């Protein structure tokens, strides 16, 4: 009996030691700041994204999609890491295409790789195009906003 108690104690001790702790949890939000309903497809490349997107979002005018809508998710990150950079280069490194449609017409296409661009270079894969803020001591939001100026293809 003592062997069983010791075995269970050691098992709990060992598994607890390998549990990774994170400082923050960030929720992903994509906001539509236009007057149009937008369909957004996210995927691995343009052809595959059109046929089989990883994410398919439908965002009403002046609305946003978050993890709470059960479409996007959250991720955890430690202090000292930049959440947008971590997310785009680590969590979403498998995704390299974002297509934005208005009324079944392709209006915007963003293609990876992720990069550290200028603030006025508005692009889904530009780290500086995302906004971040904390909503609690250990929870935050990263948000990408789509503006009317982004919808310039096929006018």
Q: What is the pLDDT of residue 111?
A: 93
Partners of residue 130 on adjacent β-strands: 144
Q: Tokens in use for 59?
A: 């965002």
Give the C-alpha separation, 92 to 85, whole Å.
10
Environment class of residue 48 by beta-carbon count within 10 Å: exposed (0-12), middle (13-18) or buried (19+)? middle
Give me the tens of pLDDT residue by residue for the chain, a chain 155 residues long: 656 555 555 555 455 555 567 889 999 999 999 999 999 999 887 777 788 888 889 999 999 887 656 567 788 999 888 999 988 888 777 788 999 999 999 999 999 999 999 999 999 999 999 999 999 999 999 999 999 999 998 76
Q: What predicted TM-score, i.e. pTM, was given to this entire model? A: 0.81
Residue 131 in any domain: the answer is yes
Residue 100 in any domain: the answer is yes
Residue 93 in any domain: the answer is yes
Placement of tokens 């002046």 in the chain: 62
Q: What is the pLDDT of residue 18?
A: 53
**What is residue 12's three-state secondary structure?**
helix
Residue 104 in any domain: the answer is yes
Domain with 76 in it: 21-150
Query: For the chain, how big is the Rg over CA atoms in Å?
Result: 20
Q: What is the pLDDT of residue 12?
A: 52
Q: What is the pLDDT of residue 52?
A: 85
Environment class of residue 82 by beta-carbon count within 10 Å: exposed (0-12), middle (13-18) or buried (19+)? middle
* DSSP letter, residue 45: S
Q: What is the pLDDT of residue 26?
A: 92
Q: Give how many domains the chain has, as a whole number.
A: 1
Residue 16 in any domain: the answer is no
Residue 112 in any domain: the answer is yes
Residue 86 in any domain: the answer is yes
Residue 6 in any domain: the answer is no
Whether the CB-CB separation of 56 and 110 falls below 8 Å is answered with no
Q: Tokens in use for 26?
A: 């960030």
Whether the CB-CB separation of 63 and 32 falls below 8 Å is answered with yes
């Amino acid at each position: 009996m003592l062997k069983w108690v010791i075995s269970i104690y050691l098992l709990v001790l060992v598994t607890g030691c390998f549990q990774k702790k994170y400082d923050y949890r960030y929720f992903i939000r994509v906001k539509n700041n236009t007057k149009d309903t937008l369909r957004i497809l996210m995927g691995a490349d343009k052809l595959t994204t059109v046929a089989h997107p990883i994410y398919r979002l439908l965002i009403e005018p002046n609305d946003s999609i978050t993890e709470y809508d059960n479409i996007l998710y959250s991720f955890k990150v430690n202090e000292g890491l930049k959440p947008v950079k971590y997310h785009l280069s680590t969590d979403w490194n498998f995704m390299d295409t974002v297509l934005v449609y208005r009324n079944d017409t392709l209006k915007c296409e963003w293609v990876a790789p992720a990069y550290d661009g200028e603030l006025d270079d508005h692009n889904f894969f530009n780290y500086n195009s995302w906004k971040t803020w904390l909503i609690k001591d250990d929870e935050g939001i990263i948000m990408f906003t789509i503006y009317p100026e982004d919808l310039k293809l096929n006018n």
